[in-house]
């Protein structure tokens, strides 16, 4: 069973969200997603300053098996990306909830957080 930290929220599309306060969220892909995709070879990150609506594809994670979109968990503006992934995409495999984060977003519609999954609900998805 994959790791599902209790302090995070999740999307059905396997992104995780950590609330940093002041409307800033750190976003990455879950342990389950990175394990399913396999060894990461390339990560295409969004440009800081770009805005996305909840559910928009905003990044691409490419592994030896497949390329997959990562989706904006909330509506907002990208304020920072994890530049370390450019030279070390394997950080997503090695530490998906730490050094392997993808981007930070300044959310513009805080109510959208209510639609994200609790760790328990996300775990239930994996059991299906």
Question: Could you tell me the residue ranges of all domains in the chain?
Answer: 10-109
Q: pLDDT tens across 72-127, in order?
A: 999 999 999 999 999 999 999 999 999 999 999 999 999 999 999 999 999 999 87
In sequence order, what E strands does the chain have? 9-10, 15-21, 24-29, 40-44, 51-52, 57-63, 67-71, 76-81, 103-107
- Looking at the DSSP assignment, which residues form a beta bridge with residue 80? 104
Helix, strand, or coil (residue 93):
helix
Architecture of domain 10-109: Beta Barrel (2.40)
Q: Residues 8-35: pLDDT tens digits?
A: 999 999 999 999 999 999 999 999 999 9
Is the distance from CB of 73 to CB of 15 less than 8 angstroms? Answer: yes
- Extract the tokens encoding 21: 């306060």
């Amino acid at each position: 069973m994959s790791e599902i930290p209790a302090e995070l929220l999740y999307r059905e599309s396997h992104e995780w969200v950590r609330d940093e306060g002041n409307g800033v969220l750190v976003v990455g892909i879950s342990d389950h997603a990175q394990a399913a995709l396999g060894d990461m070879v390339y990560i295409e990150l969004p440009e800081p300053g770009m805005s996305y609506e909840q559910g928009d594809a905003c990044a691409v994670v490419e592994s030896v098996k497949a390329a997959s979109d990562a989706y904006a968990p909330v509506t907002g503006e990208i304020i920072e990306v994890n530049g370390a992934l450019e030279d070390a995409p394997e950080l997503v495999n090695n530490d998906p909830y730490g050094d392997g984060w993808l981007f930070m977003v300044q959310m513009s519609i805080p109510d959208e957080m209510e639609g994200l999954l609790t760790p328990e609900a996300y775990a239930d998805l994996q059991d299906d």
